[in-house]
Amino acid sequence: MPDSEPGRGHAGELLYQYLDAIPDIERLRELLHPDVSFTLHVPTGKTNTGRERILRGLTKEFTSFYRPETFRLEVLESFGHRDRAAARFTITAETERGPYHNNYAIIARFVGGLLFEAWEYVDSASARMQLSP
């Protein structure tokens, strides 16, 4: 089996494109499989399924939590093999609770060149310290 599908890019490149698209909801729509599932691993995390549900959640984050004009996601590294990829990245932004800078990691699986499954990990202790009232 080849590492990537013809014309669709290597999984590490596809994951980079997904992360680079955030917070552009319309760009993200083009990169997500209709049946995508996304699991956020934090103490109150859960799995969301379906492109439209995930995009609604992201839209809510960028209208009620992050100040979009200050949002910056920096991909530190992105790599993959066949249909799977992983990346480390940081998010820096102003939020409704003040300044925020944190580390993240994501593991993803692609089907037909679209993000199909993702598992995201965040430094939740750091997030709590920064965002607690």
Q: Which of 11-20, 26-35, 43-52 has the lowest mean pLDDT?
A: 43-52
8 vs 36 pLDDT, higher one: 36
pLDDT at 109 over 80: yes
Q: Mean pLDDT, the chain, as a whole number?
A: 90
Which of the two residues, 97 and 8, has the higher pLDDT score? 97
Q: What percent of the chain has pLDDT over 70?
A: 93
Q: For residue 3, what pLDDT is reported? A: 39
- The structure's pTM equals 0.86
Please give the angle made by the CA atoms of 85, 39 and 116, to the nearest 5 degrees: 50
Average pLDDT over residues 2-12: 55
Give the model's confidence band at 130: pLDDT under 50 very low, under 70 low, under 90 confident, else very high.
confident
Which are the contacts of 35, defined by CB distance < 8 A and separation ≥ 6? Answer: 49, 50, 51, 116
> Which pLDDT band, with edges at 50, 70 and 90, does 41 fall under?
confident
Domains of the chain: 4-131 (3.10.450.50)
CB 21 within 8 A of CB 28: yes
pLDDT of residue 60: 95
The full DSSP string for the chain is --SEETTTEEHHHHHHHHHHHTT-HHHHHHHEEEEEEEEEESTT--EEESHHHHHHHHHHHHHHTB-GGG-EEEEEEEEEETTEEEEEEEEEEEETTEEEEEEEEEEEEEETTEEEEEEEEE-HHHHHHHH--
Reported as a single tens digit per residue, the pLDDT across 112-129 is: 999 999 999 998 778 888
